[in-house]
Amino acid sequence: MKSELLLFFPNLFSGRSGSPLFALMILLTCRLWAEPDSSHRRTQLPPPAGSVILPDVPEQVRRRSRAFLHPHCCHLRHENAAEDQRSAPTSEMTDSMKTQLVSAIHLQQVEMQEKPTGNSQGNNADEKFTVEQAVETIGFGRFHVLLFVIMGSANIVEAMEIMLLAVVSPEIRCEWRLEDWQVALVSTMVFVGFMVCGVLAGYIADRYGRWKVVFGGYVWSAYFSLLTSFAPTYGWFIFLRSMVGCGVAGVSQGFVLKTEFIPAKYRAYLLPLGTIFWMTGSMLIILLGMLVVPTMGWRWMIRLSITPSIILIFLFKFIPESARYNVSAGKVDAAVKTLQRIARMNRASLPPGRLVEPALRERGSWRILFSPTFRRTSLLLWYSWFVASFAYYGSVLSSSELLEKNLLCVINADAEHQVKHRHESGLCYCIPFGSSDYQTLLISSLGEVALVPLNIVLLNVFGRRISLTVLQLLTALLFMMVNICTTMFGFTVLLFLLRSLVSMNFNVVYIYTAEVYPTIARSLGMGFCTSFSRIGGMIAPFIAQVLMSRSVIQALTPFAVACVICALGNFLLPIETRGRALLQNS
C-alpha cells in the first residue's frame, strides 16, 4: 500500500502535503478498500465538519493517535507496510486501526479548533496599555457626568468661602468697629492659611492620594467655618478664617483629581464649564447675604453656608481615587478596578491586554519643579497665578468697596472722612449693603459664566499660552475703564465684563497647570501655584480696601500694570498643552 500511495501522492508522508486530515482520510479509504470484506461491514465514518466533537477520547488513544499523525512515525509505519501485508490481519486488528484513525481525525479537529483561541489568548496576554490609553478608549460617559457634578461642586464650596468675605465685611466692620486695614486683614488671613496649606496639601496628594486630601478639605473647611460663626472677638474670627483657608487649599486639589479622569479632547470643553459652579457658589452666598443678614444676622449666614460642604462629604464616596495616582504609587490592581468601574458606567470596555506602567517612587518631589524641563515654566506660572488671584480678588473687593463707600465716579475720595456717607445720619462704621448693592454683585457674578463659550473657543483655537496672554491684556484694559465716570448701569456692565475676564483667566491657568506637570508632581505643582496665588490674594485687600479710600485711580493702576507684565510672561511660556496627553513621568 505504501508504494501505491507514494505513486499517486508522493508528498503524502513527507510532511509537505498540507492538511494532515486530508492524508488521514486518504489512508483510511485505502485501508478499507484493501480489505476483502469491507463491502460487508458498516464502518463508522467521522462526523461531518461543524459537528460537536466529543472530548471523551481515552488518553491512550490520544497518544497513539498523535503518534500516528507524526510525520516520522508515518515513515516508520510505511517501511513496515510490506510486513503488515504478509501477515493476515484479523477483524479485531482492522477495527482497532479504524478506531485509531477516527480518533485521530477527531483529535485533529479539536486541536485545529482550539489553536486559534489559544493564539488569541496569547496575543491578548502580550498586549499592554497605559492609563492614558484606557482613559481615551473609555471616552466620555455617565461617570464623567457624575464626576463633573460632584467635583464641580467643590468650586461651590470654595467660592462661598472666598466670596463670604465681600458680603460679611460691612457687618463685622460695624459690629467690632474695625478700621480699613483690619477689614483687609480678614481676607489676608484666609489667604495665609491657603498659602501655608497649599504646598502641604499638594505634597500629601502626590504622596498619599488626591481623594484623601480633597475629602479632608471638605471636612476641615466645614468644621472651622461653623466655628467662625461663634467667634466672640475679632482675633478669634481672623484665626478661624485662616483655618478655613487651610481647608479650602485641600478642596482645590479636586481640580487635579477631576482633570486626571477626563480624556484629552474633552478637557478644553469640560474644565471651563467648572466656572458655572464657581458662579453658583458666589450667587448663593450673595443671596444668603440678601435674605439672611438683614433678618438673622451674619452668623446665621455663615452657618447656612456650610450646607454644600456637608452634602458633598456624603456624595464624595462615589468618586474613586485617581487611577493615574494609583499607577504612579505602584497600585496597579487598584487602578484596574477603578478603570473597570468607569468602563462599566460608560458602557465601554478597556483596551485589550493588561495595564502596565512602571511604579514611580519619587513622588511629590520639589526637584521636579526645578528640573531643566520645568524650571522656566514653574517660575512663569507662579507669577501668572499670583496675578490671576491678585486681579480676581482685586475686582471682587474693589466692586464691594466702591459700592459700600459710594466711590462711583469719584477720582479722589473725601480725604477728611475714611468712609463717604450716603446718608448724613449714617454711622461711620455701619453702612450695610442695600438691596441694590446685592443686585449689582449678583449681576457681576453672572459675568463669570457669560463668556465661557468664548473661553472654550480660545482654548481650542489658540491654545493655552495665547489665551492667557490675550485675557491678561484685556483685563488690564477693563481695570482702567472701571474708573470712567458713568451711570450705575454702565458701571454694572464694566464690572460684569471685568469679572468675566478675570474668571476666564483663572480658569485657563488652572487647566494649563494641571496639564503641564507630570502625575508624580502634578498636585505639588498645583499646590505651589495656588500658594503663590494666595500671596496675590493677601495683597489685594490692602490695595482694594485701604488704598481705594484715598484714590480710586491709585488703587486700580497696580492691578492693570500687573496684568500687562503677566501677559508678557504668559507669552514666553515654553510648553503648549493643547491636545497633549497628561504626562505620567518627567
Which residue carries 483667566 as its cell? 505
d(CA 75, CA 83): 14
Residue 196 lies in a domain: yes
d(CA 446, CA 444): 5
**The residue type at 394:** G
Same domain, 246 and 367: yes
d(CA 546, CA 37): 119
Would you say the C-alpha torsion 307, 146, 218, 181 has a positive or negative sign? negative
pLDDT at 441: 78
Q: CA-CA-CA-CA torsion for 81, 84, 89, 95, nearest 10 degrees?
A: -50
Same domain, 120 and 178: no
Could you say which of 90, 107, 126 is where a domain stops?
126
Residue 35 lies in a domain: yes
How far, in Å, are 224, 433, 434, 438, 484 from residue 487 at the CA level? Answer: 41, 19, 18, 17, 10
Would you say the C-alpha torsion 480, 474, 490, 449 has a positive or negative sign? negative
Same domain, 116 and 245: no
Same domain, 148 and 25: no
Residue 42: what are its φ and ψ, rounded to 5°? -95, 115
The CATH number that applies at residue 471 is 1.20.1250.20
Same domain, 9 and 144: no
d(CA 517, CA 498): 29
Could you say which of 126, 141, 169 is where a domain stops?
126
In 10 A of CB 230, how many CB atoms?
12
In 10 A of CB 194, how many CB atoms?
30
Residue 585 lies in a domain: no
Same domain, 269 and 418: yes
Which residue carries 450646607 as its cell? 307
pLDDT at 108: 53
- Please choose, from the candidates 310, 417, 404, 367, the residue with its C-alpha nearest in 3D space to the C-alpha of residue 520: 367
Same domain, 122 and 136: no
pLDDT at 571: 94
Same domain, 193 and 107: no
Same domain, 82 and 151: no
- Residue 299: give the domain boundaries: 131-571
Residue 581 lies in a domain: no
How far, in Å, are 130, 260, 360 from residue 564 at the CA level? Answer: 41, 32, 39
Same domain, 116 and 197: no
d(CA 549, CA 260): 45
Residue 576 lies in a domain: no
- Residue 566 burial (CB < 10 Å; 0-12/13-18/19+)? buried
Could you say which of 126, 142, 175 is where a domain stops?
126
Residue 583 lies in a domain: no
- Residue 32 CA, distance from chain mean position: 72
d(CA 436, CA 408): 14
pLDDT at 450: 78
pLDDT in tens, the chain (586 residues): 545 444 444 544 444 444 444 455 555 545 544 544 444 444 444 544 444 444 444 455 444 444 444 444 444 444 444 444 444 444 444 555 555 555 555 555 545 554 444 444 445 556 888 888 899 999 999 999 999 999 888 888 888 888 888 788 888 988 898 887 888 888 888 888 988 898 899 889 988 999 999 999 999 999 999 999 999 999 999 999 999 999 998 988 888 899 899 998 888 888 888 888 988 998 899 999 999 998 999 999 999 999 988 998 899 989 999 998 988 888 889 999 999 999 999 999 999 888 876 655 566 577 888 888 888 999 999 999 999 999 988 888 887 777 766 666 644 444 433 444 444 444 455 667 778 778 877 887 787 777 888 888 888 889 999 999 999 999 999 998 887 877 778 888 888 899 889 989 988 998 999 889 888 888 888 888 988 988 998 898 888 877 877 788 888 899 999 999 999 999 999 988 888 888 776 5
Same domain, 452 and 496: yes
Same domain, 155 and 256: yes
d(CA 520, CA 322): 12
Q: How many domains does the chain have?
A: 2
In 10 A of CB 14, how many CB atoms?
12
Where helices occur in 177-253 by DSSP H, the ranges are 180-208, 210-228, 234-251
How far, in Å, are 69, 108, 240 from residue 22 at the CA level? Answer: 11, 11, 88
